[in-house]
Amino acid sequence: MSGLAEILADAGFTVSGSDKKKSPLTSRLESKGIHINYGQREENITPDIELAIFTSAIHADNPEYIAVQKAGIPSLTRAQLLGQIMKNYATPIAISGTHGKTTATSMISQILLEAHADPTVSIGGMLSSIGGNIRVGNSDLFVTEACEYTNSFLSFYPKIAVILNIEADHLDFFKDLADIRSSFRRFAQLLPADGTLIINGEIPDYREITEGLPCRVITFGHDSSFDYWPQQIRYNELACPSFVLHGPNDSRSSIQLGVPGDHNILNAMAALALADLLAIDRKTAATALTTFTGTGRRFEYKGKIGGVTIIDDYAHHPTEITATLKAAAGYPHKTLWCVFQPHTYSRTKSFLGEFAQALCLADKIVLADIYSADRETDNLGISSQTLQQEIEKLGHECYYFPTFDEIENFLLENCINGDLLITMGAGDVLKIGENLLGI
């Protein structure tokens, strides 16, 4: 929402909004002349408002939402607004997938910046090279993440789309994996005949998603059956991979990534395929990927205390946790600690066994209470202690503490010089590492 507010303000609209509390994002908006109300109240909805935008996090009992409806003010969801903005660009690009959207979108943005393509960019994380989560450019290129939750991305108008992966997630909204796949199929069908879909060919039965599409389809994956594939994969001392990229017409390029993990090879191949599509020089694209060191909360180095390295990561799905902890295994360390904050009761219940298996890739696990994300009030009989029991059944060391203070004290007493500590989750678990570092 903050990024879209900036785009509209830069376009000359008078923009206001509300949030629960002050943050670096709200301060940035205020510096651009956007009025922010802290706390959501009926009186914030004034007669001069001509259009209201709201996210899927806003429910029908929200006082501002009720006031908008009562006043008869036209309204759009965030996704609908983003779709309308996309219509103003000749080449709108939407990056979708259950995992990796922020990283892949950031890689693509970095390549476009390196190529001086002057894109407008909307990212779900903080990218240092644009100084935040939004960049307003002056070209016909618009790049955005496309989230499947609540079918948001079905309100978009992409010319080029990327599908990184499709797995079961957001089961508080979708019925099952088949329902999610159906949503991605409808997303792919949004592409015009002169558009292009770049898709991970390792998605099971990916042709169910692409069958009969009028647009061009480009695939990437780990072997030569795909349009783009890697060979000679190596890892440096910080677990960052290098590989030889094989592309169409027997093209080959040496690629060195500045971010760790095998999963980022797939993200990079999607970005490189898009760069080729936009006729960006491969050397320029390769340079951008070497200099790209990640976005906020994606294997983000936070600092060191007492010889303990602290990393923060947004992983909140078993597949993401597995990818992050496998990447961490190649990072210098003695003992790998993972402090995990589960995200939503419904996700924790749906993937309880998978969470336990994934977390066991860490040497020692510490659990915080489940983060409800302000959208769940029923705990479904699930708690972090339930997850702790599942992990202990697998014979693994796991601790649970109800407060961040207790977790921080435990870590101070037990982490030693040379250990690697990862705070992990989509909630506010990053505060633990920041508190330890005093930042």
Q: How many CB atoms lie within 10 A of CB 273?
A: 24
- Specify whether the CB–CB gap between 160 and 277 falls below 8 A: yes
Instruction: Collect contacts of 392-398 with beta carbons under 8 A, ≥24 apart.
Output: 393/356, 394/356, 394/357, 394/360, 396/359, 396/360, 396/365, 397/363, 397/364, 397/365, 398/359, 398/364, 398/365, 398/366, 398/367
Torsion of CA 247, 111, 160, 89, to 10 degrees: -150
Alpha-carbon span 114 to 125, nearest angstrom: 19
Q: Give the residue from 179, 172, 180 showing the smallest Cα distance to 350.
A: 172
Give 105's strand partners: none
Secondary structure of residue 280 in the 3-state scheme: coil
| Tokens found for residue 47 | 């007669």
Q: How far apart are CA 421 and CA 171, in angstroms?
A: 30
Which pairing describes strands 75-77 and 398-400: parallel, antiparallel, or unpaired? unpaired
Q: Residue type at 334?
A: K
| Secondary structure class of 345 (helix, strand, coil) | helix
Q: Which amino acid is at 176?
A: D
Active site residues: 101-102, 145
b/e per residue 41-54 (b: at least 16 CB within 10 A): eeebbeeebeebbb
Cα separation of the two ends of the chain: 26
Beta-bridge partners for 217 = 197
Half-sphere exposure of 108 (CA within 13 A, CB side): 37
Q: E strands along 128-272, which residues? A: 132-135, 141-146, 160-163, 196-200, 216-220, 229-235, 241-246, 252-256
Q: Are strands 132-135 and 120-127 parallel, antiparallel or unpaired?
A: antiparallel
